[in-house]
Structure 1
Amino acid sequence: MRPDAEHCSFVLLADFDIDRGALLTYQFPQPLGTDEGLLANLMLPDGAERQPEDWTIFFLNQTPSNTIAPVLALDTPELRASRVEDEDGKPELLYVLNLVRTKLDKTVRRGAIVKAMAICTRHSFIEIFKPVLLMALDDYFSDPSQDCLARLFDAVNSMDISQAPRLSRYEKLIMRTSERKDLFIEKYEELMKPRVVDPAVHTNGHHASDSVGSHSSFEEGIMIRTRDEKGKSRDTEQSRPGSSTTSLQAANQSSPSDNSFSLDGSAVWVESGSIDQSPRLPSSMGSTQTSSGSRAASVRGRRSTDASSTSSLHARSHESRAQTPAPNAAAPVLKDTHFFPATIDYNDHQLPIRLPMSTFPEEVGDYSLIQLVQMFSSPTASISGPQHPHLHTGGNQTHPIIVLFNALVTSKRIIFLGHHRPAGQVSSYVLSACALGSGCGIVLRGFIKRAFPYAHLTNREEWEAIPGYIAGVTNPIFESSNSWDLLCDVGSGRMVVSKDIHSNYPLIATGIPPVQLIMRSGTLKAEGSLTSEEDFVRPSKDLTAVQKAELLGKAETTDNLFMDDILSAISLHYGESHVRARFTEYTARFVKLAARYEEDVLGMSTAIGFPTQVYSEPAGEGPHLGSGLFFSDEAAGVRELAANASRIEAWRRTESCELWKHDFQKARATSPIQGFDVSHQLWRLRHAKKMADGEVELIMRTLAENVQTYDQVTELLSLLPPHHQGLLPLSFGLFHHQESTRDLTVAIFNELRSYFVGVQFLQALNHFQRYAYVRQAHALDARIQREHNTLTIPPTYMSRTPSNRSESSLGGG
């Protein structure tokens, strides 16, 4: 999202004429320079006259026929440069949100008037423009002139999102999986500052003073809570010669106390003589820092950790409000930080807009994975046609959604057919499928640019020539064609695999048998003897590939277990965000499985994932952490590799794999945490049955040494989502029998506690875990203080923020 870019590039208006058919009446502010007949037919889909109202979505700049060529006099070099986004120099996609409406009118020949209005935008979250597009089309029916388009164009482009925070990738990942409505609220600091309102501007009856009283406690409190001088102190000390930067430098940060984190209304009382310290803001928020006073609640001489970032500051917010130079001071109401509040002023109507803050480019519109799963998991859902190992990874027991996912990642041609269904409904399924294959835009990419949410007969030859297209159609004539590999009927939930699937996609394309599991690296070691299972995993060479897939499908596959979990979550009314997170993890695991396949089956070093290594302590060298994908049950891992061999081989030949290889290498080189596989370490803490004490200590030490900045903190937290119990894997270190491991865990938590987002994750720990952290943090602080007072403090226990110590005690000479 670029705040400086125009929100609306073009506004289009199409009419249906009974004699001439669909006509493109207006193009504002300039002609697009493309096929007008094509645009008109896309805006007026088949069967539109049977729907009172319908929404459709299509894209521009996908094929030569829909690539725009604006008038050169209006197309400046700056605009042309901004439109180039792809590595091959192609112009970026324009997303078109189209509203078509049918009004009955007996005075016209056909008995109805059909008109459509569309907005072309660079923003993938096109759903935010629905309210203003509704009003604009109403105005056009009342006054059919180009002025309506001009008003819509100006209104949308006047929307101010300059104060919208720019979240990093890891911040978006954290926000997507959290239900907290105050997440990253510190990034809305400028937005929520009281500002002077010009009375002459507000003439529509809105009273600015009323909105102040509607703020929630966290909105008021967070604006009083500002950053401290901790970041500057640490940077100063680290730049001093001789200062230590080892893992336990963070251990002596001020211990958790009043402003640390909430205990949900119950207090944990601990002895504390430390100085209270508020979480610091990320450096990207600016350099202005002020200290916030602590309101220590003292009971029987002890300090409580019960004051939170929300409730403890609520009372102080009234003091701040009293100092505000009202009556004109007002701040916008921010009820949920997942959305940025904006307004569009159209015809003297202030339309509230909520910009989603955690979307990725492969996510277009307001799609629903739950709706997609339910449609193709209904009792009427079925799969017909021949079985192919690229699609049927579980044999004849493969779930339809898994068949669809396999078709997406292996770049098969897919059609969503909705006969007698609104075109908008078909478009929604196409967009949901793109999100399904890409891991909700987080893992893979390249799906949107070959997606046609609504496809028409007009340019059929052109979009059917796109490899691996994903198209939504309403005309049943497409079913009888032979130009698709998988047909998904959104009316009945049935799937049809093309009868020519085997001839179009031969099983062996590079001379490598798809189910040849020759373990070359020696990393797959089953626990115990396989005996008959070994014959089951490695089928006889005399069997055909389809028979092998059917044989593998007789087992309860990982895919089927995953879909059972998804259906169970939907039946228990888990939200869309949870289902999206699960499919994101499924796609990410598929990529890791492909990397493991390249190593173990193909005997090559992988470039699409971390190499597979186990924790080791070689003689004469320091211990090495493990990396890559491992299985809790290695025998089941062998079966999973066998079942996925065909689709992995097919995916490795697609453009999606090449894009992922480029993205992975780039992420590995630029990620804040460098040098080791963080997700593997967290997997070990979650699932390992037996771990050596040395491995646990090395994991904690490595994390403590490499998680010392805001960006590193957010990367770590993005791998600890709430639906996987958040910080639970790290909290196990608080109860380890080795004191060094417990101290390292405290150091990690101290670093997390120095940021607002880390405090919020610590709030999610249960009372027992939080009490253990508070107790051990104070004990470690007291021990370090005693060592310091006796001048025997080792360098590794120096504090990074010794604000209450002299220069001579910093270890820098």
Structure 2
Amino acid sequence: MAHDGQHCSFVLVADFDIDKGAQLTYQFPQPLGMDEGLLANLMLPDGAERQPADWTVFFLNQTPFNTIKPVLSWDNEDGGEAVEEDARMLYVINLVRTKLDKTARRGAIVKAMAICTRYPFVQIFKPVLLLALDDYFMNPSQDCLARLFDAVNAMDLSSMPTLSRYEKLIMRSTERQDVFIGRYDDFSALNDPGTATQQTAPLPPAVRPGHKSSNSGDSRVSYEDSLHRARKDPGRNGPESYKSASQMRSPTTPSEASFSLDGSAVWVGDESGLDQMGFVATAASASTTSIASAAQTRGRRSTDASSSSSHGAYGRLGENAPSLTGAATAALKDSHFFHTAINYNEHLLPVKVPLSTFPEEVGEGSLTMLCTTFSPTITTMSGPMHPHLHTNGSLTPPVIVLFNALVTGKRIIFLGHHKLAENVSNHVLAACALGSGCGVVLKGFIKRAFPYATLINREEWENIPGYIAGVTNPIFEAAGSWDLLCDIGTNRLVVHKDIYSSHPASWTPSSNQLIMRTGTLKAESSVGSEEEAVRVQTKEGGPAQKPESAGRPDSADNVFIDDILAAIASHYSEAHVRAKFAEYALRFVRVASRYEEDLLGSTTIGYPSTTYTERPGEKPRLGSGAFFTDDTACTKELAINAGRIEAWRRTECYRLYQADWKRSLARNPIQGFDLAHQLSRLRYAKSISDGEAELIFRTLAECLHSYDQVTELLSWLPPHLHGLQPLSFGLFHQQEVVRDLAVDLFNELRAYPIGVQFLQALNHFQRYAYVRQAHARELRLKDPNTLAIPQSAYMSRTPSNRSESSLGGG
């Protein structure tokens, strides 16, 4: 995101007049040139006079009716990835307060103040808005607006690092507080403004209070894991295979003292202590004193995992790496945020700017809150079942019904009668994050979202296709201009009784027959699948009620939501929940790509579906496309998803993803093969031939030549999917060439601080295998007559009894 230009574009003030109603009092520094009555009513929500304080969020330059007239200089957001119309969006955070005053006609004064900004993380302006509105109550003049405007725009973001897409994906998936610390030009940027840095040793990596760390030992499963768990795959390893390093003890051996396997360092060197190659440790896991001491006593070269410059090639160790003095002597803060301050009226307000936000993530919408509000145990669902919405019949979880409604472009209303407008707004913003895969996968939801909507311009926003609106007035439920009603006050999900009139379940013979690679197979339908929804036409051709269907309690969607709710109950972080939903949305898109290919013969949203081929006289070729454990699983998953895929392909969201996919093919650092498919093969395949294993590891090792390529690879290996574990399988392969390629791959990762952090998350057995083989490799390079370490020397130490003739996570 570009940081030049104004942080605050406009400041607005509205007052409630008992005779005239909501009035827009001030617009600073100039009028917006749009309907002032609309702005005033958005800033003063229904029932504001009954609440001491409330917040609303709304957008400008979103549609023709809320486009402002002044021509501003807009920076292209997200490094040029955002489309032009999205870059013009203005996000508005508004505070309304009611103060009791006996001199007022109704005993209270209601005023509101709003900041219009081009940053989606509008929540950072809440503290300064609180002070500014108090100031305005005491002195209601335009000077208050000018002070606020100047203070916000004086906020210093000049040294704020700009992360690439893949750096953002890595940052949001880890709770390590020192991730990408080297992206800061000045380590003092991590300190609270004006705070003296007297601490001589860095703080250990902290986990948010009350939350579990999402590390490589995370016991939660991914969405693809849930697919296999739902099928009760007997070949899948149990959770005991994924214990974190802190939960496992390294085997006691005479050479144990030669290695640091305590979770804080990756040691590579001669286990006899005669030859030293080097070690890597992070400033967050050992003090500068202990690092220097270890380097001195062991005679090893030490390199800090977080030492790096802020340039594109900064990450390679030894290349212009800055000194650790600043980091080691500073009280380190969470590097997920840029720490700055707003100096308002002699009050220095600390500000934490999130660095991994995508444009579809606005404000403080929480998926944890959304899943809790519409948990299957407390949510009542009513109305007809529809193939676009109910992918598992009547047992479709409420959150999945909402996700289906979002991606298929249904009109959605969040109703909060007698609720704060802030509560309603946050649910709408959370729904946008849900549908977009937290901004990582899909786009177009914020463009049609109205976090707080009013009766004033009802006809205009109701004409937006697939709107997502938050309201507090129950008159909207009675009006019926919606397809799905989400009542946050009573935990209801209501599908409109006339949804078939608005969205017919139009099925063609081609969409009812999935053309598979093995021939023309009719899609197997589970109870509650889309095939039953075909029979919704009456003899006259009109819509009719779909027969009641029980659904399957063990479907992948149900297992996935059960896992999400279990994670929430165990106090897993919001970042963990978001990572799971991003993966869910990505899986939906990859399955849609396969569906599109089977239906039309080609796809415009993904790689073609192929399998690994190895023919005599021909060069072997890696597979690509969505991964399925077998043809039966593929057929069932396509049938279950067919209804919502068909509807999604007719939406603007689909067309935006088409354009994004085309751009990614040209821009991705790793080119020429489907990286996600290869990692899925390593994670979930029941067996992989020696030839495919060698080609996968050779291709990965040969493609890693730059920092950008490393970050792209690591972005597909998040902690909640056990990090580098799929690649570590290569260390235990029966063929030496595969083991050597795995060592080459890890050596390349080890050259970058972010790669070191991922290596540190491996368990003891995986790191021990890497250390032994890397050391043996060094000895062979020095003395070609040196024998390689026998495979039995480390295979007996592995936590898995996987057959030597196979390689995979299944």
Q: Aligned match of 2:424 in 398, 403, 426?
A: 426
Give yes or no for contact 1:524–1:634 (8 Å, CA) kept in 2: no
Structure 1 match to 2:691: 694
Structure 1 match to 2:714: 717
**Whole-angstrom distance in 2 between the partners of 1:553 and 1:420:** 35
Give yes or no for contact 2:278–2:301 (8 Å, CA) kept in 1: no
Structure 2 match to 1:284: none
**Whole-angstrom distance in 2 between the partners of 1:541 and 1:386:** 11
| 1:462-516 per-position Cα deviation (integer Å, ceiling 9, x unaligned) | 111100000000111101112111111010110111111001111117x4565x1
Structure 1 match to 2:497: 499
Q: Aligned match of 2:393 in 389, 392, 395?
A: 395
Structure 1 match to 2:581: 583
Structure 2 match to 1:611: 608
**Whole-angstrom distance in 1 between the partners of 2:127 and 2:161:** 23
Cα 1:568–1:547 shift into 2, 3 Å? farther
**Whole-angstrom distance in 2 between the partners of 1:540 and 1:466:** 31
Match for 1:56: what amino acid?
T
Instruction: Choose 1 or 2 for highest CA Rg.
Output: 1
Q: Secondary structure at the match of 1:54?
A: strand
Structure 1 match to 2:359: 361
- How far did 1:275 drift? 6.6
Q: Aligned match of 1:489 in 487, 490, 501?
A: 487
- How far did 1:271 drift? 3.9
**Whole-angstrom distance in 1 between the partners of 2:453 and 2:489:** 17
Cα 1:69–1:80 shift into 2, 3 Å? farther
Give yes or no for contact 1:212–1:330 (8 Å, CA) kept in 2: no
Q: Secondary structure at the match of 1:127?
A: helix
Give yes or no for contact 1:261–1:762 (8 Å, CA) kept in 2: no
Q: Aligned match of 2:198 in 196, 209, 212?
A: 212
Q: Aligned match of 2:445 in 447, 450, 454?
A: 447
Cα 1:767–1:113 shift into 2, 3 Å? same
Q: Secondary structure at the match of 2:114?
A: strand
Cα 1:740–1:360 shift into 2, 3 Å? same
Q: Secondary structure at the match of 2:186?
A: helix
- How far did 1:381 drift? 1.1
Q: Aligned match of 1:414 in 398, 412, 415?
A: 412
Q: Does residue 139 of the first structure (1) align with residue 141 of the second (2)?
A: no
Give yes or no for contact 2:432–2:446 (8 Å, CA) kept in 1: yes
| 1:752-791 per-position Cα deviation (integer Å, ceiling 9, x unaligned) | 00000000001111122111111110111111222499xx
- How far did 1:618 drift? 2.2
Q: Aligned match of 1:565 in 545, 563, 566?
A: 563
Cα 1:711–1:37 shift into 2, 3 Å? same
| 1:608-627 per-position Cα deviation (integer Å, ceiling 9, x unaligned) | 11111111102321111111
Give yes or no for contact 1:63–1:462 (8 Å, CA) kept in 2: no
**Whole-angstrom distance in 2 between the partners of 1:489 and 1:538:** 26
Q: Does residue 341 of the first structure (1) align with residue 339 of the second (2)?
A: yes
Cα 1:540–1:558 shift into 2, 3 Å? closer
Match for 2:91: what amino acid?
Y
Structure 2 match to 1:8: 8
Match for 1:427: what amino acid?
S
Cα 1:593–1:330 shift into 2, 3 Å? closer
**Whole-angstrom distance in 1 between the partners of 2:573 and 2:395:** 27
Match for 2:89: what amino acid?
L
**Whole-angstrom distance in 2 between the partners of 1:777 and 1:770:** 10
Q: Secondary structure at the match of 1:479?
A: helix
RMSD, aligned CA: 3.6
1:125-524 residue pairs with structure 2 within 5 A?
125-192=121-188, 210-213=196-199, 216-217=202-203, 263-264=263-264, 270-271=271-272, 276=277, 297=295, 309=305, 333-377=331-375, 379-508=377-506, 511-512=508-509, 514=511, 516-522=512-518
Give yes or no for contact 1:259–1:307 (8 Å, CA) kept in 2: no
Give yes or no for contact 1:261–1:308 (8 Å, CA) kept in 2: no
Structure 2 match to 1:792: none
Cα 1:724–1:82 shift into 2, 3 Å? closer
Q: Secondary structure at the match of 1:506?
A: coil
Give yes or no for contact 2:392–2:529 (8 Å, CA) kept in 1: no
- How far did 1:396 drift? 1.0
**Whole-angstrom distance in 2 between the partners of 1:557 and 1:451:** 30
Give yes or no for contact 2:10–2:116 (8 Å, CA) kept in 1: yes
Match for 2:403: what amino acid?
F
**Whole-angstrom distance in 2 between the partners of 1:673 and 1:591:** 20
Normalised TM-score (structure 2): 0.81
Give yes or no for contact 2:386–2:546 (8 Å, CA) kept in 1: no
Cα 1:212–1:262 shift into 2, 3 Å? farther
Structure 1 match to 2:107: 111
Cα 1:207–1:47 shift into 2, 3 Å? closer
Cα 1:458–1:364 shift into 2, 3 Å? same
Q: Does residue 682 of the first structure (1) align with residue 676 of the second (2)?
A: no
| 1:183-207 per-position Cα deviation (integer Å, ceiling 9, x unaligned) | 0111114243899xxxxxx9xxx97
Give yes or no for contact 2:394–2:528 (8 Å, CA) kept in 1: no
Q: Secondary structure at the match of 2:586?
A: helix
- How far did 1:158 drift? 0.2
Structure 1 match to 2:793: none
Structure 2 match to 1:63: 63
- How far did 1:669 drift? 1.4
**Whole-angstrom distance in 2 between the partners of 1:650 and 1:297:** 61
Structure 1 match to 2:212: none
- How far did 1:103 drift? 0.5
Residues 636-645 or 162-171, more deviating: 636-645
Cα 1:49–1:406 shift into 2, 3 Å? same
Structure 2 match to 1:800: none
Structure 2 match to 1:747: 744
Give yes or no for contact 2:76–2:87 (8 Å, CA) kept in 1: no
**Whole-angstrom distance in 2 between the partners of 1:261 and 1:763:** 9
**Whole-angstrom distance in 2 between the partners of 1:260 and 1:562:** 37
Cα 1:343–1:508 shift into 2, 3 Å? same
Match for 1:4: what amino acid?
D
Q: Secondary structure at the match of 1:270?
A: coil
Stretches of structure 2 lacking an aligned partner (at least 5 in a row):
206-256, 283-290, 308-321, 538-543, 787-810
**Whole-angstrom distance in 1 between the partners of 2:104 and 2:396:** 53
The percent identity for this pair of structures is 58
**Whole-angstrom distance in 1 between the partners of 2:14 and 2:68:** 17
Stretches of structure 1 lacking an aligned partner (at least 5 in a row):
196-201, 220-256, 282-292, 312-319, 790-813
**Whole-angstrom distance in 2 between the partners of 1:43 and 1:542:** 46
- How far did 1:376 drift? 0.8
Q: Secondary structure at the match of 2:176?
A: coil
Q: Does residue 121 of the first structure (1) align with residue 117 of the second (2)?
A: yes
Q: Aligned match of 1:93 in 89, 93, 100?
A: 89
Match for 1:408: what amino acid?
L
Q: Secondary structure at the match of 2:748?
A: helix
Q: Does residue 630 of the first structure (1) align with residue 627 of the second (2)?
A: yes
Give yes or no for contact 1:398–1:560 (8 Å, CA) kept in 2: yes
Give yes or no for contact 1:597–1:641 (8 Å, CA) kept in 2: yes
Q: Secondary structure at the match of 1:553?
A: coil
Structure 2 match to 1:199: none
- How far did 1:708 drift? 1.9
Cα 1:272–1:426 shift into 2, 3 Å? same
Equivalences, count: 707
Q: Secondary structure at the match of 1:211?
A: coil
- How far did 1:61 drift? 1.1
Give yes or no for contact 1:259–1:305 (8 Å, CA) kept in 2: no
Cα 1:548–1:628 shift into 2, 3 Å? farther
